[in-house]
Structure 1
Amino acid sequence: MKKDTKENTVLKYVFIPIAYSTFAIKMNEKIEWKILPEKQTIGKYLCQKAEGSYGGRIWNAWFTSEVPISDGPYIFSGLPGLIIKITDDQGDYDFELVQIKDFKWKELYPAKYQKLISWEDFQKIQTDFYNNPLSTLKKGDILNEDASGTLSEANHRDVKESIRKNIRSKNNPIELNYKVDFKTN
């Protein structure tokens, strides 16, 4: 993820295993916040609650105007103060401020991406990988080792289904509106 607050742009970096490449998706969805009257203290900050919709989820944010930065974790921004805590309504995601430090910004790990892609491109790449996760491998590339250390060729059908099962079990993206519903065969 790369935020440019001056340009008001956010790029989400995604790694595609089948291509062993990182791509970027420009995040364009704007969050319409509804500021609510509820207040509470989180850590040392007096916070106010706001509700917004992003990625097919409803988000509850707690922000403080004591830190006059209109930003927060991930793509979340646009409130009159720093977002201290934000959770989705399903309880799947929970971000909370741990520390504020004064530092000069530099990219610690500047991400390099192969190209800018759309959500539709990303969904197609995900679907292609799910349908054929072993497409870049040749027969004999996947080996099993038994208890005695003897190597034998793995059953590709079993390996493929194991990978697909793993993909399905972790298929809970922040952006539910772009979620690919992977089918079992």
Structure 2
Amino acid sequence: MIRNIKNHLLLFVMISCHLLGQKSSFIYELKYKPHTDSIRLDTITYYLDRDKDVSLFRSAMFRKSDSLAVKRGYPNGFDTEFNNKQLYVKKDAKENTVLKYVFIPIAYSTFAIKINEKLEWKILPEKQTIGKYLCQKAEGSYGGRIWNAWFTSEVPISDGPYIFNGLPGLIIKITDDQGDYDFELVQIKDFKWKELYPAKYQKLISWEDFQKIQTDFYNNPLSTLKKGDILNEDASGNLSEANHRDVKESIRKNIRSKNNPIELNYKVDFKTN
């Protein structure tokens, strides 16, 4: 029995040193409601890439886009929705900063918001095994939501998906109390790239700035485009100029249908008229 405990502790130390001593990718699956009235849940794969004191949390799409930007000088295009698909966060433990990146569609502009909301965790006695990890429960609040987190000290890294961190171990699963967002760790891999390749942003903005950016884009999503910039292609490959009014309303409808931001306290209510 004592021998088994020693072997287990040795394996734990080896795993801890392995994770702390090199770059790692923690792959999370996010299940979320695009809209508060949604019946179905959408799913997106996110990567938490860590290198020493810095981590980047971004979707597989943005991760690929960032690496392409380094190779060819520009990223892929941005989706026309501001929420859910655009959860992109850079955490720097040494500088004690958390930055949320926001990407402006069509204009291809990138800004960052400094997250100043402090996470206050209450660690609870409840424990359960998730996957292969023994986890303990913690409760906290962020963005106008109450969050239930399950973390493991078996992976001694104080990090987790999105902005979440500060617990004595890696967050394996975290869900808001309304069931709108559910992050769960599905895999841990070695990080093969030489660098993290974070996206470059033009400037820091406030939440109020971001709300105005969203409202302005919703009101006129095609403001940076000229007549003839948007084309339709028929089955034969022939191009014709698209109707800007129809395209505009299509974009606006898409934004309204996916307006369930993770930060409910900064939600923008888009009007139909």
TM above 0.5, yes or no, is yes
Higher helix share: 2
Quickly say closer, same or farther: Cα 1:105–1:33, change in 2 above 3 A.
Answer: farther
Q: 1:25 to 1:106 in 2, by over 3 A?
A: farther
Q: Residue 111 and residue 151 in structure 1: after superposition, are their counterparts in 2 closer, same or farther (change >3 A)?
A: closer
Is 77-86 or 161-170 further displaced after alignment? 77-86
Partner of 2:69: none
Contact 1:67 1:81 in 2 (8 A): yes
Larger relative CO (CA 8 A, sep 6+): 1 or 2?
A: 2
Q: Deviations over 1:141-171 (max 9, x none)?
A: 2233444555433222211110100111122
Distance 1:146 1:69, change over 3 A: closer
Question: Kindly tell me: are residues 33 and 146 of structure 1, through their superposed partners in 2, closer, same or farther at Cα, counting changes over 3 Å?
Answer: same
Conserved 8 A contact 1:18-1:135: no
Deviation, 1:36, is: 1.8
Distance in 2 between the 1:67 and 1:9 partners? 22
User: Per-residue displacement from partner, 1:104-157 (whole Å, max 9, x unpaired)?
Assistant: 996332221111111111111111000000111122222334445554332222
Partners of 1:66 and 1:116 in 2: how far apart?
36
SS at match of 2:186: coil
Give me the whole-angstrom Cα distance separating, in 1, the residues matched to 2:109 and 2:229.
20
State the Cα distance separating 1:19 from its structure 2 match. Answer: 2.9
Please tell me whether residue 183 in structure 1 is matched to residue 252 in structure 2.
Answer: no
Instruction: Tell me which moved more, 17-26 or 54-63.
Output: 17-26
Q: Kindly tell me: are residues 42 and 150 of structure 1, through their superposed partners in 2, closer, same or farther at Cα, counting changes over 3 Å? A: closer
Q: Which runs of 5+ in 1 are unaligned?
A: none
Please say which of residues 109-118 and 67-76 is displaced more in the overlay: 67-76
Deviation at 1:34, TM superposition (A): 1.7
2:190 partner SS: coil
Partners of 1:106 and 1:92 in 2: CA distance: 35
Out of 45, 49, 53, the position equivalent to 2:141 is 53
Length, aligned pairs only: 185
* SS at 2:136 equivalent: strand
Structure 2 counterpart of 1:32, from 116, 120, 123: 120
TM-score (ref. length: structure 2): 0.62
In structure 2, the CA distance between the partners of 1:123 and 1:106, relative to structure 1 (3 Å rule), is farther
CA 1:106/1:89 → structure 2, altered by over 3 Å: closer, same or farther? Answer: farther
Greater Cα offset, 22-31 or 60-69: 60-69
Change (3 A) 1:148 1:96: closer
Q: Choose 86-95 or 126-135, whichever is displaced more.
A: 86-95
CA distance in 2, matches of 1:53, 1:40: 21
Change (3 A) 1:147 1:44: closer
